[in-house]
Amino acid sequence: MTAQFTRADLDRRDAADPLRVFRDAFQLPENVIYLDGNSLGPLPKAAQTRLQDVVETEWGADLITSWNKHGWIDMPQRIGAKIAGLIGAAPHEVIAADSTSINLFKLLAAALRLRPDRRVIVTEETNFPTDLYIAQGLARHLGGDVELRMVARDKILDALDVDTAVVSLTHVDYRTGAMHDMADMTAQVQAEGALMLWDLSHSAGAVPVDLNDCGADLAVGCGYKYLNGGPGAPAYLFVADKHLAAFEQPLSGWMGHAAPFAFDPDYRPADGIAQALCGTPSILALAALECGVDLALKADPALIRRKSMHMGELFVALVEERCGEHGFALASPEVPEHRGSQICFRHPEGYAIMQALIARGVIGDFRAPDILRFGFAPLYLCYTDLWGAVDVLRDVMESGAWDDPAYRTKATVT
């Protein structure tokens, strides 16, 4: 096979990359090629400074007065409004709060109230586990009244009927990177009278999302992946304007009250998206998230998508070209337009191979049962990072270095 790429080609691509200025905004460790930003984004340098200020000045010096003085009380709305700009939503439709899991519970419960004559939740059996678990917990909690249909990816539309209240899907599959056609799926779901709920955890910040252009009803997403909001960053949720008046969610904590500091004994929901709040949010976590979101807002989403697609194509080509004989099978869609910002390969020794890569500073991750997952975050990755990663992969395979008992010991978190 004739080499399609050389290292020099990639140097040229980096030199011409309009997004290359963003790399310097992140604190990336030396000697690491980080292809796991879809699991935990790296530290924005601005977050380091901001957190120091929040800790020393706001918490340390100004204490309780910071809720007003430094606008802590408005952070969920303020950051939500910023995230809206990344997902094609209006500022008043998005709020930063809690975790993706908890926000899923709120929105699935709300969807059942918005469609009171329909009691079925449809989802994909390969959806991210917490999306499935939360729907299972909600259905069980509500008793026999609610049915959860977990179906194969190509059977989603067949599963819809007049009982379907809501379809809950993740836009970009966490394991394969396969991306749903959001506009088409939303339209087909709504044609059956159901609501469409999108989990944007593996898309926002890396692939263009336009919820309102697609007419989506509800959405949730994660702050610690492509938004680079820090480990366990707060998540966010979206409720389309058309549903805000009737929106009602069961986790009715004081921060979602119309007047939390009136200390009324009766819950009276805040108008609009603020009703989605529950308890007191972590200010440290929100402050870090805001820095990540601010960075993402500075980048042109079209450039991000273009670079992400280039990186995916390049990585597939490099692995085929340089590691073609080592049994990697592409687990992501063949067509670049159908992929999110990651490339996955199946390999029977995937776990050990990934551990060998990590030991050599190429950080991707493994997803059971046999998937090596490589995420491409266009804000801070270089094209030459991909060359370096495939270099190490080739070395690990050709030397047989992956075949080491140390790489077979499963860690708690994979």
Q: Which of residues 341-400 bind a copy of itself (CB under 8 A)?
A: 358, 363, 365, 367-368
- Measured between alpha carbons, how far is 277 from 50 in angstroms, rounded to an integer? 24
Q: Rule CB under 8 A: is residue 32 a binding residue for a copy of itself? A: yes
CB of 378 to a copy of itself, least distance (A): 18
Q: Rule CB under 8 A: is residue 233 a binding residue for a copy of itself? A: yes
- Measured between alpha carbons, how far is 199 from 250 in angstroms, rounded to an integer? 19
- Measured between alpha carbons, how far is 311 from 203 in angstroms, rounded to an integer? 16
CB of 317 to a copy of itself, least distance (A): 26
Please name the amino acid found at residue 259: A
Q: Rule CB under 8 A: is residue 270 a binding residue for a copy of itself? A: no
The 3-state DSSP class for residue 285 equals helix
Q: Tokens representing 108?
A: 């699935």
Catalytic pick among 373, 374, 376, 380: 373
State the binding string over 105-134 for a copy of itself (x if CB under 8 A, else -): x---x---------------xx--xx-xxx
The CA radius of gyration of the chain, in Å to the nearest whole number, is: 22
CB of 370 to a copy of itself, least distance (A): 12
Nearest residue (CB) to a copy of itself, 127 versus 308: 127
Q: Rule CB under 8 A: is residue 148 a binding residue for a copy of itself? A: no
Among 16, 154, 261, 335, binds a copy of itself (CB under 8 A): 261
Active site residue 373: yes
Task: With CA atoms as reference, report the closest residue to 338 among 207, 143, 215.
Answer: 207
- Quick one: which segment of 25-33, 152-160, 202-210, 346-354 binds a copy of itself (CB under 8 A)? 25-33
Please answer whether residues 344 and 372 qualify as being in contact, where contact means their C-beta atoms are separated by less than 8 angstroms: yes
Among 262, 302, 335, 406, binds a copy of itself (CB under 8 A): 262
Catalytic pick among 98, 199, 365, 385: 199
Site for a copy of itself in 291-350 (CB under 8 A): none
Strand 342-346 relative to strand 362-363, pairing: unpaired
159-164 contacts at long range (C-beta below 8 A, 24 or more positions apart):
159/122, 160/122, 160/188, 160/189, 160/192, 160/194, 161/120, 161/192, 162/118, 162/192, 162/193, 163/118, 163/119, 163/120, 164/118, 164/120, 164/121, 164/122, 164/189, 164/192, 164/193, 164/194
Query: Which neighbouring-strand residues pair with 343?
Result: 374
Nearest residue (CB) to a copy of itself, 186 versus 332: 332
Active site residue 82: no
Q: Rule CB under 8 A: is residue 15 a binding residue for a copy of itself? A: no
- Counting every residue written for the chain, the total comes to 414
Site for a copy of itself in 208-227 (CB under 8 A): 224
- Measured between alpha carbons, how far is 358 from 396 in angstroms, rounded to an integer? 11
- Quick one: which segment of 49-57, 155-163, 312-320, 377-385 binds a copy of itself (CB under 8 A)? 49-57
Active site residue 383: no
CB of 189 to a copy of itself, least distance (A): 21
Q: Tokens representing 192?
A: 């059956």
- Measured between alpha carbons, how far is 95 from 89 in angstroms, rounded to an integer? 11
Q: Rule CB under 8 A: is residue 138 a binding residue for a copy of itself? A: yes
Which stretch of DSSP H or E encloses residue 180? none
Which stretch of DSSP H or E encloses residue 107? helix 100-114
Q: Rule CB under 8 A: is residue 63 a binding residue for a copy of itself? A: yes
State the binding string over 170-189 for a copy of itself (x if CB under 8 A, else -): -----x--------------
Active site residue 128: yes
Task: With CA atoms as reference, report the closest residue to 78 among 236, 301, 241.
Answer: 236
Task: With CA atoms as reference, report the closest residue to 110 among 32, 220, 208.
Answer: 220
Site for a copy of itself in 82-101 (CB under 8 A): 98-101
Backbone conformation region of residue 329, classed left if phi is above 0, alpha if psi is from -120 to 50, else beta:
beta
Task: Give CA 396 to chain center in angstroms.
Answer: 30
Q: Rule CB under 8 A: is residue 412 a binding residue for a copy of itself? A: yes
Among 18, 24, 60, 313, binds a copy of itself (CB under 8 A): 60
Catalytic pick among 22, 26, 105, 128: 128
Nearest residue (CB) to a copy of itself, 245 versus 413: 413
Q: Rule CB under 8 A: is residue 231 a binding residue for a copy of itself? A: yes
Q: Rule CB under 8 A: is residue 253 a binding residue for a copy of itself? A: yes
Catalytic pick among 105, 224, 315, 351: 224
**Residues contacting residue 143 through CB under 8 Å, at least 6 positions apart:** none
Give the catalytic positions in this structure: 128, 199, 224-225, 373
